[in-house]
Structure 1
């Protein structure tokens, strides 16, 4: 018979693996450090489903069996949605197409136009995952063909574009039950960027690989080292693109430190990103990475929330306006992060309002966001009477099962 591991021990292992202290975990789920200790030592039993979902969100757990040991109780339906385009994208990543090996590849210019269109679709209002899933398999195959069929500078340019295509694939796959494919695309993107011998492509790949490791709640030291090494390859004073990528990597390190509760280090690296944004000017935003003044200000909400500083997170949310940010997906994401801050302050009306705004801005951003899915299930089941009806409507729209 397999070993039966109590819930408290499972919780402690997951918390320690994520590098979290008891006060940090308790603060992130609205409980005290003493409550966390009581659960881990068995003095308090397994929480009810809404709090389990909150723990799963904070600990980046996709299957509640990791927490409870009960295979019948899965978090996947609550924390992750599955897009209809997932099988086709997964098949494209596994395929090695040689059927047009004798054909001349598209020019780098033509491929760049298609890739730019795909990025614009990702950042546009509406169902961005659906739009990208429709073009991603063919775009991936054609850029791979260009890499195989060219030499010299065109090949390096195609390799850099291939890294970007893998970034798009990684974004599409995120928050779906395809963790191994997310890791695969991140690794392939970094390989393509290195083959392109492009410090800028490597910097972009490092930003997205940081998302992979950070969302998994693991490898803090590795992701900080990766970001710093990639930043060292750049010449931030060369032009706005280089400075934006350098600033983005400082932001990656700040987010990584915030995840493990090291507020001083998080603030130090956020200050570096802040300086880069100031040097770029208020109106600048990177064409597809979207780094700029708006992103840096908005990520201050995430950093404060990850540090369990609810009041400061709300203050950061109230101080910014992301309306000018040229990305509907980003605007929706930061609205969701603002909702996370307000939930820490126990303001459910603001939480529902912000999640509703996020859904209206970018339905698929809300639908595939782990916090949104857990929060609407919890509020629809156990929220104050004033918000339950709206939360129930949102729960149905994003396709989350009732928490009961």
Structure 2
């Protein structure tokens, strides 16, 4: 029997662990309850010990909302891990992990690829990520060599060429982070975010730093890191930009306002969330209705779609559904984005307890980008839950989705 890791200073009941994690995240009981379809009183009953550990599907949703990777953090049972149930590992993960943790000490006399060739390779990699098809599988093929080539070039080139390579290296780390997302390797996600920021700072590029801040915000938010630190990072990075003089800077500035809005929504601060969303919306309007950044995809469509996420995180099921009704994701030039925002629309309808709409939207998300749906935590948890206890009207479609998502059959 494993020795207990609890100490006199560590909460030792399930409810106390839930409370500690919720308070660390800066989340209120209504926010946590709403995000998993329960009341604030339900959360209070869990924390006070009046209710015990919930059934697995609900426990998984609670862990997801609290940003918990290992269920042992809540249950004290080291044999349970969230990744075992809600996160899938891509079959190329070992190769990408090796590429990240291998260090290449190549001879400086070895000629690196030309800078323009390297930059073109990075652009093509982003096209693979946003394109139709198995985007994780395709990007995993090119990432190891691309990382090695860029790292070598960054050591050999000097001056302006080195800075250009470092910006491209930061972008490639963003791609690696996206590939790793929703897989059971949080330490690698944090590593890639940090390396991207380091490369951007070494390049002395405000634009690259802004992008790195956007992606680090995702890392911190998913890990439940301090809300104030996330907003501070976004605002410090946005202060480096010149949004009034440069359209590229305006897009990145708007993206960072969106990051702040999502962070405020995550902790239930509606007024601040709406204020920063309005800033992002203003930037998108100034860029023009048809504008979308080539790989960040920032533009009016993305801002409108993130209103669904913001309302859902604020536990406003009605507001989230209304936002979803206003959004048409079809013009977005990214299959992964279209799929993600359809999944967020499904999350909105789940707050309203409309399982037919949830299943329909998850099916559409799968059609847009199978791997986006397959690796999404909400999708996996919702399908598992509906397969176990959903209404008869959706059982056939849920079972098809369960097979498509390659989810295990409950014992």
Which interval holds the TM-score relative to the shorter structure? over 0.9
Match of 1:84 in 2: 91
Aligned position for 1:70: 77
Following the alignment from structure 2 to structure 1, what is the Cα–Cα distance between the partners of residues 56 and 251? Answer: 42
Match of 1:355 in 2: 362
Are 2:236 and 1:229 equivalent residues in the alignment?
A: yes
> Partners in 2 of 1:224 and 1:403 — Cα distance?
40
Which position in structure 1 is the counterpart of 2:110? 103
- Structure 1 runs (4+) deviating above 4 angstroms are none
- Distance in 2 separating the partners of 1:37 and 1:386: 33
Q: For 1:114-125, list aligned pairs within 5 A.
A: 114-125=121-132
Deviates more, 1:336-345 or 1:36-45: 36-45
What CA distance in whole angstroms lies between the structure 1 residues aligned with 2:79 and 2:192?
A: 30
Partner Cα separation in structure 2 for residue 11 and residue 257 of structure 1:
21
The superposition leaves residues 343-372 of structure 1 with CA deviations (integer Å, 9 ceiling, x where unpaired) of 000000000011111111101101111101
What residue is the counterpart of 1:187 in the other structure? 194
1:330 corresponds to:
337
The 3 A distance-change label for structure 1 pair 217 and 82 is: same
Q: Distance in 1 between matches of 2:49 and 2:63?
A: 19
Q: Are 2:205 and 1:220 aligned? A: no
1:367 aligns with 2:357: no
Residues 316 and 105 of structure 1: CA distance in aligned 2, closer, same or farther (over 3 Å): same
Report the alpha carbon displacement of residue 101 of structure 1 after superposing the two structures with TM: 3.6
* Farther-moved stretch of structure 1 (149-158 vs 90-99): 90-99
Matched, 1:160 2:163: no
Equivalent of residue 394 in structure 2, options 384, 387, 400: 387
Aligned-residue Cα RMSD (Å) equals 1.2
CA-CA distance at 1:10 after TM superposition: 1.3
Contact 1:254–1:268 under 8 Å retained in 2: yes
Partner of 1:206: 213
Deviation digits for residues 65-101 of structure 1, max 9, x if unmatched?
Answer: 2222222333212211001111111111111113454
1:5-47, Cα deviation, whole Å (9 max, x unpaired) = 2111111111112111111111111111111111111111111
2:203 aligned with 1:196 = yes
Match of residue 243 from structure 1? 250
TM-score, structure 2 length as denominator? Answer: 0.96
- Note the C-alpha offset of 1:145: 1.1
CA distance in 1, matches of 2:18, 2:406: 27
SS in 1 for 2:330: helix
Residue 399, structure 1, aligned to residue 399, structure 2:
no
State which of 35, 43, 48 in structure 2 corresponds to 1:41. 48
- 1:277 and 2:280 are equivalent in the alignment: no
Distance 1:96 1:31 in 2: 48
Note the alpha carbon deviations across 1:126-179, whole angstroms, 9 max, x for none: 110111100000000101111111111001101111100111111111111111
| Contact 1:76/1:177 (8 A) holds in 2 | yes
Per-residue displacement from partner, 1:223-261 (whole Å, max 9, x unpaired)? 111100000000002222111000000000000000111
Superimposed CA distance per residue, residues 183-237 of structure 1 (whole angstroms, 9 cap, x where no aligned partner): 1111110010011010000000000000100111212111111100000000002
Measure how far apart 1:403 and its partner are.
Answer: 4.3
Structure 1 218/403 Cα, relative in aligned 2: closer, same or farther at 3 Å?
farther
Q: Determine if contact 2:106/2:152 at 8 Å carries over to the other structure.
A: no
Q: Matches of 2:157 and 2:201 in 1, distance apart?
A: 17
Contact 1:378 / 1:403 at 8 angstroms: preserved in 2? no
CA distance in 2, matches of 1:91, 1:189: 17
Which one is further off, 332-341 or 31-40? 31-40
Distance in 1, Cα, partners of 2:122 & 2:173: 11
User: Which runs of 5 or more residues in structure 1 are unaligned?
Assistant: none
Which residue number in structure 2 is paired with residue 58 of structure 1? Answer: 65
Is contact 2:26-2:226 (8 Å) kept? no
**TM norm structure 1:** 0.98
Kept in 2, the 8 Å contact 1:203–1:231? The answer is yes
Aligned to 1:301: 308
Comparing 384-393 and 258-267, the one that deviates more = 384-393
